[in-house]
Structure 1
Amino acid sequence: VPAMPVGSPGMEVDDRFMPYEVLLLKDDGSTEVYVRVTTPAQQYR
C-alpha cells in the first residue's frame, strides 16, 4: 500500500519504526482517530 508507515505490520524494515494513526471511517464519510501507535510495542497489544 503506498505511503504505509515503515514498521507497521507487514512493512517491517530492520528496527525502523514510524508512528502512525489508525483512522475510523464513519457511515457519514467522516473520520476520527481510532488509535495513535507511537511505539512498536503498541502494535501487538
Structure 2
Amino acid sequence: MAAVLHRAGRARAARRDESAFTNAARSAMTSTPVSPSGGLLAAQREVP
C-alpha cells in the first residue's frame, strides 16, 4: 500500500515540476512572470 502511495506521490511531483517548467517557459516568452522562478528565468534570458 505504501509503495502505491509513494508512486502516486512521485507522479504528482513530476507533474508539478512539469507545470512549473511550462509556466517558466510561458513567462519567458511573454516576459510577464507567472511564478517567482519563471520571473527569474525571464530576467536571466533578457540579459544579453
Same fold per superposition (TM over 0.5): no
* Higher helix residue share: 2
- TM-score, L = length of structure 2: 0.22
